[in-house]
Amino acid sequence: METYREPSGKEAAPSGSAAPRGNSLLDRLAHRPARTPAGVLLACGAGLLLIFGLDYVTPGEMHPEMLYALVILGGLWTRRAALILVLSLLTNVCIVLGYLLSPLTSSYWIALVNRGFAVILVWTVAALVYVIERTLDRLEGNRP
């Protein structure tokens, strides 16, 4: 079997092995240990409640619902695509509840448009996290 030599002259691992091939960010992320889903759910749940509380107490001119995208990034701590979907759905429920429960001090259509932007942001971040997770799994050889 032919080995690949890095530009530095070191031998790299064969292409089918799970050993890191270099010091790139993706190589380091691909070989990170997965966190337990319980710990991630606890951290993301706490973040979700904190952002929802902030959304509830702030006036209508402020839009903290964009912070829900940070909760979705918690999906990077695990290797489970289902958790990303669950977090995305929960954040959407919180965005809708935040609209219904928050005092409306500005025009309702402005609040609806901003909530719509928040939903688009959440699903865009969820899609990116999912693609990153699939890429990392492919680097490890777990998926075709």
| 44 within some domain | yes
For residue 12, being part of any structural domain is answered with no
For 64-89, the pLDDT digits (tens) are 889 999 999 888 887 788 888 989 99
Give the pLDDT band (50/70/90) at residue 4: very low
- pTM value > 0.85: no
Domain residues for 116? Answer: 34-120
User: Does residue 15 lie within any of the structural domains?
Assistant: no
Identify whether 77 is part of a domain.
yes
Residue 144 lies in a domain: no
Categorise residue 9: left if φ over 0, alpha if ψ from -120 to 50, beta otherwise: left
Let me know if residue 99 belongs to a domain. Answer: yes
The total of structural domains in the chain comes to 1
- Which candidate, 90, 2, 102, 98, places its Cα nearest to that of 41? 90
